[in-house]
Structure 1
Amino acid sequence: MKNVIVLIETSTGWGSGMVRGIGTYLDECGEPWNVFLEPRGKFEPLRIPKGWNGDGVIARVNNEELAQDILDAGIPCVNVSWYDFGPGVIARCTLDEEESGRLAARYYLEKKYTNFAYCGSHWRPTFYDDLFGRAYAQYLQSAGFECHIHTASGMSPEQPWIEQIRLLGEWLLTLPKPCAILAIDTQTSRQLIEAAKYVGLGVPDAVAVLAGEYDELASGITRPKLSMLDNAAQSVGYQAAHLLDRILHGEADGSEVVTISPTRVISEQSTDWTVLPDERLVAALRFLRDNFHRPIQVTDLAEHAGTSRRLLEQLFDRFLDVSPSKQIMMVRLDMAKQLLDRSVLPIADIAARCGFDSPEVMCRAFRREITMSPSEYRRSRRAQ
């Protein structure tokens, strides 16, 4: 039996999802690993416990001390963080941070924003190379838009909370409105929302806030609820375990790098704003977001928007270049993808939760739009 230690924070949705993914791999591959796992906080320094002597490590290698522990011990390790410690020696399995930044940019561009900003974190060390924020800004610049950057300089974790909020609030006031803001993590996103309240700015009508990581608990406790990038934690955990297993069997080494594509944005109230010139269209989109799981039709959208079906179709065609019926289907399909990626629910249950008339209808939509069945999609996500 292999002894493997998992050094990942368990206090966040990202960390707990990662652990679930590791467990799913062990269930499927039948490997008899003895896994050492302790509760960990997000900002807790991670180290290999003294006296532990095992065969492999899966860790969020986010500090030099932990990286040196691993290198000194000569233990095979898979790093699941965006920090690149021990390149060529410590293997990596992470979410594609640059594609994640581009995904966030596309999300906001589809909402017709023209003002954009990015907020880094004062919790990150000064040497951290923020490829995520850079990719977001570069994608927007390539589309012809400026991205205002807050590097968190002048802020530190040691500052009182209210002082951090005040500084962020002052920055928010300088931004052109309405502004679409991407934050590096949920902690920073929640601070931005509090800062907006502090200086009297509405969220999302003045500033929209999107978190660069997934944490269902953090979103649920935030008002308005926090939109987040679904960072495929279970897929990363699954593939990290697979990579470590290959290393332990001599089929890979520390030079291996596996990147997982981001899934999608989970929209909640903090980005519930589409910069469109017609409020009827905005009302229809909000109604769809809140009711896609019900058996709604295009006529329901039109009734909620206070217009005729024909006029609503014209508005969708003019400003969104899509029909209302296609939009309903795409919203349901996006939620189905999330559930396939993040849960073990049966296909029939997912179809019902997403508003499809039957599993067969959902299967036809998957094959038509992404050329694979729901089951094939689920397997492809785990195989990334």
Structure 2
Amino acid sequence: MVFFGSNYSYPIHQGVAAFAGEHGWHLGFRIQSPHDEGLDVEGWDALIIATAVRASLLRGLLGWKCPAINLSASPSEVKMPRVVGDNREIGRLAARHFLELGYWSFAYFSLGTRESESLRRAGFQDELGAAGQAAVYCCLGSQDGAAAACSWKNEKAWLSDSLKGLRKPVAVFCFNDLLAGHVLDAALDLGFMVPEEVAIVGTDNDPLFCERAAVPLSSVRHDLFHLGYHGAEVLDGLMTGRPVPEEPVLIKPDGLEIRRSSNHFATRNRALMSALRFIREHFRENIGVEDIVRATSLSLRGLQHAFQRELRRSIRQEINRLRFEYATSLLRDTELAVSDVAAQCGFQSLEYFCRSFKSRYGNTALAFRRAAKACLPPAASLVKSALPIPREVCPDPWVRRQVSSDLPVRRPGGLRVSSELAT
């Protein structure tokens, strides 16, 4: 498994390691510089390319005639099987999130025009276009050539100029969490309120970037664990003579983690804004429509009209929307009894919760939980965290799927697959 440059991905490595542990692979691992002219793969049974690499070096690697697969975000000039994140769907997911929040001004920020960046932009634009909207495209790489050579001073100036020119309130989708953090810093330096004036969503859901930001960052959960796991699965088929997909295998994102940077409905109606803030802060409690009316300056009739005009749903529907979203996350990520899930989501009647859940999702809560957990690879029972990590503290799915130290260890005698890391 080869990572070139500084692009090491812990969750991809973890997914490959989970599959390797199940199938008796000896997973080698080393660091490789992208500037090296060659790489000795003698004695390896297979090769996993996990980051972009020069075609000349790749041809040299494949000259050893061992099976190989590309897990990088960039296509290779050399034809080989590939497993990659569904970048269009990542963009669509971010757009749907912003549209649900009522935004009408959008921007996509990226540093270059690589395939993954372009596809995320395309998915974002496609989803917005279907709703009659469009996004401003802000790309540093389109100015004076490559973004990689740009200094932080120049990037900061670009971010500042770009943000100043956007119509507020604006919904900003960023190629990754690192760039989202830079956009956040620039917005705050300019005196913009986040998320009230600039809402931000990144990609990868890296807890170090998202949780520790000045305003915690919302992010699309790029399912890199399963990318690594299914990449190893395809490679196993290649080694054992099974048919291998000719087209890239796309791994869907694992949802979107909503944090404070985008947890805001875009509206100029201050009373509606107050109502939505009250609902978000109290939906897990036993609140009713009357409680929400008291939190605003409007009458019941006036608030109902505002909800229908701007959100196209009722006050009660908005309360239930948040409650059911929270319920699905509890069912997927905890082992709480269904009755406890209902209570924690603010439902006073278990019967009402169960009936409404089935009507909404077409399945019972228990069946939903089984289906959600079945989406994990077969190693799910062995892939666990040593200690339970609350979702609100550490929401990233691949952090919750740490490989347990009691995984069976299999030494040489099984297949030898190289897992090489580059500096």
Q: TM-score, normalised by structure 2?
A: 0.72
Matching of residue 97 in structure 1 with residue 84 in structure 2? no
Partner Cα separation in structure 1 for residue 326 and residue 231 of structure 2: 25
Question: Which one of the candidate residues 255, 259, 274 is aligned to 1:283?
Answer: 274
Partner Cα separation in structure 1 for residue 286 and residue 211 of structure 2: 26
Tell me the residue number matched to 1:346.
Answer: 335
- Give yes or no for contact 2:41–2:61 (8 Å, CA) kept in 1: no
Change (3 A) 1:197 1:277: closer
Partner Cα separation in structure 1 for residue 293 and residue 76 of structure 2: 54
Matching of residue 116 in structure 1 with residue 106 in structure 2? yes
Q: What's the CA shift for 1:169?
A: 0.3
- Superposed counterparts of 1:318-333, under 5 Å: 318-333=309-324
Q: What's the CA shift for 1:181?
A: 1.4
Question: Which one of the candidate residues 125, 129, 134 is aligned to 1:137?
Answer: 125
- Give yes or no for contact 1:93–1:239 (8 Å, CA) kept in 2: yes
Question: How many residues in Structure 1 have an aligned counterpart in Structure 2?
Answer: 367
The answer to which of 328-337 and 76-85 deviates more is 328-337
Partner Cα separation in structure 1 for residue 232 and residue 346 of structure 2: 34
1:378 maps to a residue whose letter is: A
Q: What's the CA shift for 1:165?
A: 0.9
Gaps of 5+ in 1: none
1:12-69 CA distance string (max 9 Å, x none)? 8xx3333444455456xx32222234689xxx85989645642234442323256445
Partner Cα separation in structure 2 for residue 247 and residue 320 of structure 1: 50
Paired residue secondary structure (1:73): coil
- Give yes or no for contact 1:184–1:213 (8 Å, CA) kept in 2: no
Partner Cα separation in structure 2 for residue 353 and residue 144 of structure 1: 39
The answer to which of 359-368 and 330-339 deviates more is 359-368
- Give yes or no for contact 1:287–1:301 (8 Å, CA) kept in 2: yes
- Give yes or no for contact 2:62–2:68 (8 Å, CA) kept in 1: no
Q: TM-score, normalised by structure 1?
A: 0.78
Q: What's the CA shift for 1:101?
A: 1.4
Q: What's the CA shift for 1:218?
A: 0.6
Matching of residue 246 in structure 1 with residue 234 in structure 2? no
- Give yes or no for contact 1:214–1:229 (8 Å, CA) kept in 2: yes
1:217 maps to a residue whose letter is: L
- Give yes or no for contact 2:324–2:345 (8 Å, CA) kept in 1: no
Paired residue secondary structure (1:221): coil
Paired residue secondary structure (2:375): helix
The answer to which of 255-264 and 170-179 deviates more is 255-264
* % identical aligned pairs: 24
Gaps of 5+ in 2: 378-423
Change (3 A) 1:129 1:234: closer
Tell me the residue number matched to 1:355.
Answer: 345
- Give yes or no for contact 1:356–1:362 (8 Å, CA) kept in 2: no
Tell me the residue number matched to 2:418.
Answer: none
Partner Cα separation in structure 2 for residue 69 and residue 283 of structure 1: 62
Please say which structure displays the higher CA radius of gyration.
2
- Give yes or no for contact 1:351–1:362 (8 Å, CA) kept in 2: no
The answer to which of 111-120 and 275-284 deviates more is 275-284
Paired residue secondary structure (2:337): helix
Matching of residue 367 in structure 1 with residue 358 in structure 2? yes
Q: What's the CA shift for 1:8?
A: 8.8
